[in-house]
Structure 1
Amino acid sequence: MNFEHLIAINDPGNPLIPPLSREQLWEGLLHRIENPLPFLPGLESCAIVERHADHLLRELDFGAARIRDRVTQAELRWVRFDILPGEQHAGGSLTISIEEPESGSLFLRFAYATSLAAQPGSEEAAYVDYIKSAYHQSDLDCVRIIRTLAAGGDPQ
């Protein structure tokens, strides 16, 4: 299953939403890499297993499941999380890109690629809409946490 969507970050027409800079968004995404606990409900701990010049490997402990992922990034542009296939997970990826079609108009694009089959009539197909909805809600929560961080608050 491939799924992607945009979330608008700045809305010049709504003065109740404080605008964020590209740098503030980037700092929030870096926080998600280094301390994903506020971003991933159910995550009990995260250990960075290896750091390399171009990526890092993490082990995510969800209690009943341990998942390893590889994180790559292009500074101020995008972050990619590749879940490594294992006994408890078939693998997949999430890429979060910062888009700025015009100055000050910022968006985050969330692009998912999973091994979930979306064949019509398959047992897994019944869950596709639910999973897309859950991803979208999680991404809205991610933006909320980034806003909290940018305002100097505690995301916990």
Structure 2
Amino acid sequence: MERQRPGPLSFNVTDPNSTVFTKHNNLRVKYKLSVDLARNLKGRTLTNSLKYLQDIINRKDCVKMTRYAKKCGRTAQANNKLINGKKYSDNRGRWPIKPAKLFISLLNTLIKQSEEKSLDPSILKLKHINVNKAPQIQGRMQRAFGRVSASNSHPCHIEIVAQKPTLTVDDLD
């Protein structure tokens, strides 16, 4: 895992004292699965998202596939699930184990940073998760009769920002 810190983020950090972030490049997980997993994680607290990722690994909950969902199987766990406040009536879902384990390690990094800044991880919300395509890693697979086929992998760059929610006037009422 290659890590950049404190490189430029695609998110504007207004209060660095109440914000923790991590940014990793060229991660060897599938880009398309990571995009939909990130969409399901955004807006959750750190502890809630860790529990959700453990449920994905144990197949107690699934990741609702919305963007890259062609040829994706259907499951009752994905039925009428809320993602960032939107309700999707479609019931396509998967259990991406390897991206879930990677996101757990990234969230553990955020928890360590929050403890260094003396912030409570159960309060911090995932404000921004960005998944971008990394350069494709080209591989070759030998086939019968001397043929050669491509066996390419599609890694990704991931950055996560967790922020302490600010109180507004409506919250005080």
TM > 0.5 fold call: no
Give the structure with the larger strand fraction.
Answer: 1
Larger radius of gyration: 2
User: Relative contact order, CA 8 A, sep 6+: which one is greater?
Assistant: 2
Give the structure with the larger helix fraction.
Answer: 2
TM-score (norm 1): 0.32
